[in-house]
Amino acid sequence: MTVRSFLSVLICAAVSLIPITSCSHQKFPEWRGAAPYRFPYGAWESSTLVAVGQMRHVNAYGEQTADRFPAPMSPLVHRLYWCAAEFDVVALIKGERPSSAKRYVWAQVSPGCNLWIWPDNPRAVDRSFQTRAWFFREDGEFLRPPFDSGTYPYLGLTTKWKDVETIAEARRELGTLLLTPSANAADLDEYAGYLASVINIACELLPKTDCAAQVRSLADLGSPRLREEACGLLNGELGQNCMPSRDTLPAR
């Protein structure tokens, strides 16, 4: 071993307790591109763990270089910026509570480690979210997003999370919030365009009869667009009878 390489090892060892490092021996997870699934249901299906909670101590984890990363990463990208955070579980929705020692680790193609720049539902990046339900998969010693690109890491809700005691209560609470327009969108018309994205998750979290009842109540809120969307889901996805409003029926 040369003096230079020996010094490099000593320096890397000295900073190994600090998250910011570009040492060659740093252990990185395997980068995973997005599957061709629609968000958020594709992320829900691909997650072994879903939990309401908060990220803290977000910082850089290291830089990884390679001649080529797995598809669908562009062949022009040769460097990934890895980031890490600690996750505080508020309520478990799916899966088992992770070890507190497991850090959440993800990759970006640019430096910054800003979790909040990712767009959220329905398309408003400037909306203030009070509740976030995060999608995870466990990858060895790490918590990871289901995919490193193409999907978002959480569902954002504008409503404050209500304290619950059991996973059954947490599932019912999230399912109800997903079917609450004011928790997801600025107005009923905007929510009408978002409802189909979350209906399958909501109906997995709620008993089918409760889900159908809540969707039916959406049809009666006075928005023709939302009524058309809700009735379409009731008639198709939920096997219930529902007529769109007169305003949405085609002219004869």
Helix, strand, or coil (residue 82): strand
Backbone angles phi, psi at 223, to 5 degrees: -100, 115
Nearest by Cα to 162 from 154, 152, 153, 170: 170
- The answer to whether residues 166 and 93 touch, using CB atoms and an 8 Å cutoff, is no
Return the top range by mean pLDDT from 40-44, 104-108, 123-127, 225-229: 225-229
Instruction: Tell me the C-alpha distance between 164 and 150, whole Å.
Output: 32
**How many contiguous H segments (helices) and E segments (strands) does the chain have?**
7, 6
Mean pLDDT of 195-215: 96
User: Tens of pLDDT along 135-154?
Assistant: 999 999 999 999 887 677 89
Tell me which of 112 and 50 has the higher pLDDT: 50
Residue type, 226: L
* Stretch (H or E) spanning 105: strand 103-108
pLDDT given at position 37: 66
- What is the C-alpha to C-alpha distance for residues 81 and 109, in angstroms, rounded to an integer? 6
User: pLDDT tens digits, residue range 47-81?
Assistant: 999 999 999 999 999 999 999 988 888 889 999 99
CA–CA separation, 58 and 85 (whole Å): 4
Q: 3: burial class by Cβ within 10 Å (0-12, 13-18, 19+)?
A: exposed
Q: For residue 209, give both structure tokens.
A: 């009869």
> In whole angstroms, what is the distance from residue 200 CA to residue 42 CA?
10
Please give the mean pLDDT across all residues of the chain: 83
